Structure 1
Amino acid sequence: MTLINSKNTAIFALLLAMFVSAFVVAEDEEAQEQGDETVEGEEQAASPAIYIPLKPEFVVNYGGKGRLKYLKTGVTIRLANSDAANSVRHHLPFIRNNLVMIFAAQTDETLESQDGREAMRDTALANIRSLLEAEDGLDPEQVVDVLFNRLTWH
């Protein structure tokens, strides 16, 4: 009985080793094929984007006279690299202040239209870019985008 168990164990170990080596070879071939697809002179893929969510979410009164209105939004800033991320973290109070001012300047008309919301997002992006360029000399293109994760108003 012991001979059968050790024979089965040896066969199982051999099959397992063959399976694992076939899997490793397949991964190496796939990685090499992906490397071959790179065109000569083309740079490797850029570093992955960095996302910085601004916490807590913004709750801002907007509009003018009349009924009290508020806007609530979650904002995330998409950045190209860690230098830009460090710059955003350093100037976060200034960025948050400017975003509050942008949100408070909105009207019902701008918030109710897709174009108005897009214009608000573009204004926020341009504001952050210019702030970081003025304060740290950061290339504006390193601030890739401003994303509204949630946007509600009443």
Structure 2
Amino acid sequence: MANEEQTETAPAARKRRSPLLIGVVALLVLAGGGYFWQAKKAAHAKAGEQAATPKAELYLPMDPAFVVNFRDQDSLRYLQVAVTLMSHDPQAIDVAKSTDPVIRDALVSLFSNQDYSVISNAAGREKLQAQALDAVRKIVQARLGRPGIDALYFTSFVMQ
């Protein structure tokens, strides 16, 4: 009889340990999952901050200012334009610096072929600015593989 009592209590003790062991394992799994979830969330937040932080704007003034002459019916006109390039890409600024003579040649040709009646109003100047930006982007893209220049500003525009 003593043997029967021992055999009955032994399985009961094992049954009590199994739920405890399962509970501990479940807590460990939940804790580990929570850790990895938090780590993943932190990695996504860090990536979002980097994407949300814009790169610094870099400016390149094209000095000296451009001075060109062009005809307006019977008179000779002059145009003086100071140009500044803007980019978020330091490599594009370096390419623009190294190709300054090529960019200046393209812009002088563009500015000297303008009609006074067109560029004497704001819409004409905006169109000229867009054409100048396109010309600069083509030159930079030919050397860098991407346009790189984000904007072109007329910092001075004088017609006489």
Deviation of 1:64 after TM superposition, in Å, equals: 5.5
Q: Which of these residues, 109, 114, 119, is aligned with residue 111 of structure 1?
A: 119
Q: Which runs of 5+ in 1 are unaligned?
A: 1-38
1:150 aligns with 2:159: no
Please list every run of at least 4 consecutive aligned residues from structure 1 whose deviation after the TM superposition is greater than 6 angstroms: none
Partner letter of residue 60 of structure 2? I
Q: Residue 88 of structure 1 contacts residue 132 of structure 1 at CA under 8 Å; is this kept in 2? A: yes
Rounded Cα–Cα distance in structure 2 between residues aligned with 1:84 and 1:93: 15
Q: Residue 74 of structure 1 contacts residue 148 of structure 1 at CA under 8 Å; is this kept in 2? A: yes
Partner letter of residue 119 of structure 1? K
1:91 alignment partner in structure 2: 99
C-alpha distance after superposition, 1:9-55 (max 9, x if no partner): xxxxxxxxxxxxxxxxxxxxxxxxxxxxxx93521412211100011
What's the % identity of the aligned pairs?
26
1:133 aligns with 2:141: yes
Structure whose alpha-carbon radius of gyration is higher: 2
1:78 aligns with 2:86: yes
2:61 alignment partner in structure 1: 53
Partner letter of residue 70 of structure 2? Y
The TM-score normalised by the length of structure 1 is 0.69
Rounded Cα–Cα distance in structure 2 between residues aligned with 1:114 and 1:64: 18
What CA RMSD, in Å, does the superposition of the two structures yield over aligned residues?
1.6
- Name the count of aligned residue pairs: 114
Rounded Cα–Cα distance in structure 1 between residues aligned with 2:132 and 2:65: 15
Larger helix proportion of the pair = 2
C-alpha distance after superposition, 1:122-143 (max 9, x if no partner): 0000111111112332x21x21
The TM-score normalised by the length of structure 2 is 0.66
Q: Residue 68 of structure 2 contacts residue 78 of structure 2 at CA under 8 Å; is this kept in 1? A: yes
Q: Residue 107 of structure 2 contacts residue 132 of structure 2 at CA under 8 Å; is this kept in 1? A: yes
1:68 aligns with 2:68: no
